[in-house]
Amino acid sequence: MKLAAVKTMQKTKRADPSPENIRTMFDAIAPTYDFLNHLLSFGLDIRWRKKAIKHLQEKRSGMILDIASGSGDCSLAAMKIQPRMIVATDFAQQMLKVFQQKLNVHQGSSIIQLITCDALSLPFRNESFDGTMVAFGIRNFADKLYALNEMLRVLKPNGVSVILELTQPQTPVIAQLYSLYTQWGLPLVGKIISRHNAAYRYLPESIAIFPNQQEFLALMTKAEFVDAHACSLSFGIATIYVGRKRK
């Protein structure tokens, strides 16, 4: 009975991963999202985005789609490759409001267009973009394979998709330290600053259940990406996935 009670308590503490709850969480933490990203990653998220964008260098002057753009740091970083246009989408309107505030004061941001939509139902024609990117978002998607199919659909032939995501380190010592940090330190700091209890409990839970490299690359292959490969960052704390649409 005691064991059953403990299991029940643990179950009730898990954050609700439904799309509506994810939207509500991100709307709630939008004001502190950037600060906490930088704080909780010790500034590494900035370097990770820059490395991810380099995989889109060949699409300079092309059309880029930023899926689950959040507050826009990835789109703003992508301006360095001088695309013709960046279309940034997210289903959390408060996140896009924060993004818009940045655009209001960011020089040259007229090439960025914001659209509210779901990653599983992109409102774009087939073969519209030279490149797509999603940073720290795909683990939140209800159907990852369907999302990959949507990315591939809107890519032009030979287009490139870049996915940056938080992942589980594989080195035993690093994995143990990371587990302690994500289970205890990260939720505590996130709760204190964002004043949102569930959001930073959900984060380590979503990382823990995200597919490993082999599994996610298999998903990309199933979605018919070619040349799919992964690049581990910072001992595997984050990973860049890159795939291409057939010519």
User: How far apart, in whole angstroms, are the C-alpha atoms of residue 154 and residue 167?
Assistant: 26
What pLDDT, on a 0 to 100 scale, did the predictor assign at position 58? 96
Cβ pair 237, 44 in contact under 8 A: yes
Structure tokens that stand for 122 in this block: 């992109």
pLDDT at 114: 98
Give the right CATH number for 16-244 from 3.50.50.60, 3.40.50.150, 3.90.1150.10, 3.40.1280.10. 3.40.50.150
What was the pLDDT predicted at 174? Answer: 92
Provide the pLDDT for residue 197: 78
Question: 3-state class of 146 per DSSP?
Answer: helix
Report pTM. Answer: 0.91
For residue 191, list its beta bridge partners. Answer: none
> How many whole angstroms separate alpha carbon 61 and alpha carbon 74?
17
Sheet holding 85-90, edge to edge: 112-116, 85-90, 63-66, 129-135, 155-166, 238-244, 226-233
pLDDT of residue 13: 53
Burial 216-230 (b: 16+ CB within 10 A, else e): bbebbeebebeebeb
User: What is the pLDDT at residue 15?
Assistant: 66
The amino acid at residue 37 is: N
Q: How far apart are CA 164 and CA 240, in angstroms?
A: 5
What pLDDT score does 4 carry? 38
pLDDT on residue 14: 61
DSSP secondary structure letter of residue 209: T
User: What pLDDT shows up at residue 199?
Assistant: 84
Residue ranges in the chain modelled with pLDDT below 50: 1-12
Cα–Cα distance for residue pair 22/121, rounded to 1 Å: 16
